[in-house]
């Protein structure tokens, strides 16, 4: 009964106060006088005498009403001590659109909310529990029905970034999280090509019991072809490369035999040092093939940890993807695409619209620059090249030790190979996505030779050796001002040669060899372009001058 | 024998009613934008206004016809329709969701015109009957 009464009290909210004489907005402290609050009933006359002004001068209902009562509070500062004046007046709204009467009681006051009870809780939850009433911005999903169709679609295909599912969990790509130690909980995302390197702690004694060192760990669970389905795709072993202790890698001819790690003497052989997954998918988001290429190696007894590297790449079936460097303009940081003109075709620009340029899909025909090595010896580091990345000016070099015994001509040829690489391309793609068929989208590389000749030796037949290669790539901003695309306009490769003086025998000289790439922006300032002025096309009708013509 | 004041009043009433209808409709639209006007209260108010407009046309036509042809039957029918219009006008004056001061003025004027018209129609009927 007391409980029922208490419950009854809780069920209804307190009744709203509508009498302006008793309503006080600034009365915040209970049983205490609020400062400068002239309507506070807790204040005495002495408190009023200390006030400076009234924070709430008038308490009134809706000002749209034609006539209403208003309580006006003010301080009479002339009296001594200052006293509060309270007046109840009739406020008149002179507008012709004032509300004379209303038959809708809730119009002028805020609606009292329904107190939830066990009876109306479900109905209130339906009405107000939706995402539009939620205070978390993340759950604001205006279309609540849309939460269900993506679930339905999830069963039919993978979407970009969705974790690749296997029969027990996800396809794992171990990667460093926070620190460099391998974490096995990183799922591979569909169509997300990743390459990670991480460190795993090992010990030779527990060689065959550490799961992550065994090939089986990476291929034993089969991949689901589509999410939440029962169609499985087994991971096949594409190739096995064995790395010896001194770093030499050998590709095994047969990759069907599963090699598990085992401890042999002081070493643990067949430990997985790297896995390269290749996943083939259809254009509807279904995985049809999965292959893994392993690099196995040996761990010595002293090693406490090894570095493992993992890579995953996705290829669409029946395609050979060519990585684009931009679409259409070059993206800073992506390699500059280059190619050759196949043999037997007439030279550019005469009439050959059908010749195809060999695309730089293999690394050997990319535009590359000499890659500086730690030994800095030009002759020892042949073959180390780095791709030229768009927008990145690079300079690299090496030191050439010349002895008296070296012959000029072979040395010059070797240096030219060192500077230019094995296959220096002839054309560079103008746009990041230039196709091989569009010959006009390819810019020929202009080759210049500059020889620095010392004046005193002009008459002697001298030996010219190239000492520096400078590639200057001129590019421009192409297209609209708000979204300019980078376009390569001109590529010039300048070889600077210098005279090699014949050395007295036994002496040797060290010459620095440099190669550099410079990107220059030659874009013109943007021009405004306007639509053509409309032309007025007036023609007289042909029989305008009828009687006279 | 036709009553000339009645004719003039009917004519003026017609013009005034057009103004009244447009003004009341505009004010209902204004009220629905500025105040809280739920749909289940807006619908009866609009229905009353349109019903009054629908009744006004035959009412005025019968009034004109009855007065000019000096026939009591159309005039009597017009009087009946006037009673209905008065009821609707009283609704808009007293029982509308929001009654603005302009509403009070318009409806009061309309009720005065209806009252005067009713009086003149009664005298006209009396004159025609006798």
Q: Do residues A454 and A464 lie in contact, with contact meaning Cβ atoms separated by under 8 Å?
A: no
Q: Whole-angstrom Cα distance, residue A194 to residue A310?
A: 8
> In Å, how far are A292, A355, A389, A469 from A393, measured between CA atoms?
37, 32, 8, 13
Start-to-end CA span in chain B (Å): 11
CB contact under 8 A, B101 and A100: yes
User: Which bin fits B66, alpha (ψ -120 to 50), beta or left (φ > 0)?
Assistant: alpha
Give residue-wise pLDDT tens across range A516-538.
999 999 988 877 777 788 888 88
Of residues B123 and A402, more confidently modeled = B123
CB contact under 8 A, B99 and A102: yes
Q: Whole-angstrom Cα distance, residue B31 to residue B46?
A: 12
Q: Whole-angstrom Cα distance, residue A26 to residue A58?
A: 11
Cis check: omega of the bond before A79, within 30 degrees of 0: no
Has residue A364 got a pLDDT over 80? no
Q: Do residues A283 and A319 lie in contact, with contact meaning Cβ atoms separated by under 8 Å?
A: no
0.95 surpassed by complex ipTM = no
Residues 94-123 of B with CB under 8 A from A: 94-105
> Residue A2: which pLDDT band, with cuts at 50, 70 and 90?
low
- To the nearest whole Å, the CA of A478 is away from the closest chain B CA by 51
Q: Which residues contact A14 (CB under 8 A, 6 or more apart)?
A: none
Give residue-wise pLDDT tens across range A308-324.
999 998 888 887 766 77
| Phi/psi at A243 (5° precision) | -105, 130
Contacting residues of B for A64, CB less than 8 Å apart: 34-35
Spatial CA neighbour of A341 closest among A434, A437, A432: A437
Q: What is the pLDDT of residue A11?
A: 59
Burial A431-443 (b: 16+ CB within 10 A, else e): bbbbebeebebbb
pTM for this predicted structure: 0.42
The two tokens of residue A1 are: 């009964």
> Residue A433: which pLDDT band, with cuts at 50, 70 and 90?
confident
CB contact under 8 A, A103 and B95: yes
Nearest CB to B97; choose among A66, A95, A104:
A104
Q: What is the pLDDT of residue A354?
A: 34
Q: What is the pLDDT of residue B115?
A: 94
Q: What is the pLDDT of residue A351?
A: 30
Q: What is the pLDDT of residue A155?
A: 57
Q: Do residues A521 and A395 lie in contact, with contact meaning Cβ atoms separated by under 8 Å?
A: no
The residue in chain B having the minimum alpha-carbon distance to the alpha carbon of residue A100 is: B100
> In Å, how far are A254, A255, A294, A397, A478 from A258, measured between CA atoms?
10, 8, 11, 45, 54
Q: What is the pLDDT of residue A370?
A: 83
Q: What is the pLDDT of residue B74?
A: 92
Spatial CA neighbour of A27 closest among A13, A47, A9, A49: A47
Q: What is the pLDDT of residue A343?
A: 59
- Tens-of-pLDDT digits for all 130 residues of chain B? 788 999 999 999 999 999 999 999 999 999 999 888 888 889 999 999 999 999 999 999 999 999 999 888 999 999 999 999 999 999 999 999 899 999 999 999 999 999 999 999 999 999 888 8
CB contact under 8 A, B98 and A96: no
């Amino acid at each position: 009964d007391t409980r029922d009464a208490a419950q009854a009290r809780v069920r209804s909210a307190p009744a709203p106060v509508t009498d302006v004489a008793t309503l006080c907005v600034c009365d915040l402290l209970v049983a205490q006088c609020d400062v400068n609050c002239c309507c506070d009933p807790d204040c005495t006359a002495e408190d009023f005498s200390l006030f400076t002004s009234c924070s709430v001068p008038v308490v009134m209902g809706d000002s749209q009403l034609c006539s209403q009562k208003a309580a006006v509070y003010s301080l009479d500062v002339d009296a001594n001590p200052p006293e509060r004046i309270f007046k109840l007046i009739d406020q008149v709204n002179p507008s012709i659109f004032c509300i004379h009467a209303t038959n809708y009681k809730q119009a002028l006051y805020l609606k009292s909310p329904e107190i939830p009870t066990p009876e109306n809780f479900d109905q209130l939850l339906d009405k107000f529990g939706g995402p539009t009433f939620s205070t978390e911005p993340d759950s604001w999903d205006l279309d609540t029905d849309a939460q269900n169709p993506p679930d339905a679609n999830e069963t039919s295909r993978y979407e970009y970034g969705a974790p690749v599912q296997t029969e027990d969990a996800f396809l794992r790509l171990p990667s460093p999280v926070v620190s460099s130690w391998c974490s096995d909980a990183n799922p591979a995302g569909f169509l997300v090509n990743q390459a990670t390197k991480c460190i795993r702690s090992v010990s030779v004694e527990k060689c065959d019991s550490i799961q992550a060192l065994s090939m089986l760990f990476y291929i034993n669970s089969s991949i689901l072809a589509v999410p939440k389905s029962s169609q499985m795709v087994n991971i096949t072993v594409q190739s096995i490369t064995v790395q010896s202790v001194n770093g030499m890698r050998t590709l095994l001819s047969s990759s069907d035999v599963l090699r598990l790690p085992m401890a042999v003497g002081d070493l643990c052989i067949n430990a997985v040092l790297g896995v390269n997954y290749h996943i083939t998918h259809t254009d509807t988001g279904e995985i049809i093939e999965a292959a893994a290429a392993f690099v196995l190696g040996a761990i010595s007894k002293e090693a406490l940890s090894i570095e493992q590297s993992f890579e995953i790449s996705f290829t669409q079936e029946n395609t050979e993807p060519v990585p684009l460097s931009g679409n259409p303009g070059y993206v800073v940081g992506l390699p500059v695409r280059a190619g050759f003109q196949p043999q037997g075709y007439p030279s550019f620009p005469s009439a050959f619209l059908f010749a195809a340029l060999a695309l730089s899909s293999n690394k050997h025909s990319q535009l590359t620059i000499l890659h500086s090595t730690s030994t800095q010896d030009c002759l020892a580091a042949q073959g180390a090249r780095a791709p030229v990345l768009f927008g990145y000016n690079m300079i690299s070099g090496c030191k050439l030790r010349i002895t008296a015994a070296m012959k000029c001509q072979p040395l010059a040829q070797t240096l030219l190979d060192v500077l230019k690489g094995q296959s220096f391309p002839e054309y560079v793609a103008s746009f990041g996505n230039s196709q091989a068929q569009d010959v006009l989208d390819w810019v020929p590389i202009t080759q210049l030779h500059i020889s620095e000749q010392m004046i005193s030796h002009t008459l002697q037949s001298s030996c010219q050796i190239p000492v520096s290669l400078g590639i200057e790539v001129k590019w421009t901003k192409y297209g609209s001002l708000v979204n300019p695309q980078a376009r390569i306009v001109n590529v010039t490769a300048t070889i600077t040669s210098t005279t090699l003086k014949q050395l007295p025998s036994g002496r040797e000289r060290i010459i620095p060899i440099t190669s550099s790439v410079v990107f220059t922006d030659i874009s013109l300032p943007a021009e405004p372009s306007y639509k053509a002025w409309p032309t007025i096309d007036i023609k007289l009708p042909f029989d305008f001058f009828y009687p006279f013509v | 024998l036709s009553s000339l004041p009645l004719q003039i009043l009917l004519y003026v009433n017609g013009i005034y009613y057009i103004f009244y209808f447009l003004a009341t409709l505009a004010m209902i639209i204004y009220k629905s934008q500025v105040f809280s006007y739920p749909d289940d209260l807006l619908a009866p108010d609009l229905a009353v206004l349109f019903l009054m407009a629908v009744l006004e046309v035959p009412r005025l036509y019968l009034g004109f016809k009855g007065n000019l042809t000096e026939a009591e039957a159309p005039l009597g029918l017009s009087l009946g329709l006037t009673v209905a219009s008065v009821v609707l006008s009283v609704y808009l004056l007293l029982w509308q969701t929001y009654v603005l001061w302009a509403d009070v003025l318009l409806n009061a004027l309309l009720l005065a015109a209806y009252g005067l018209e009713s009086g003149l129609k009664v005298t006209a009927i009396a004159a025609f009957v006798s």
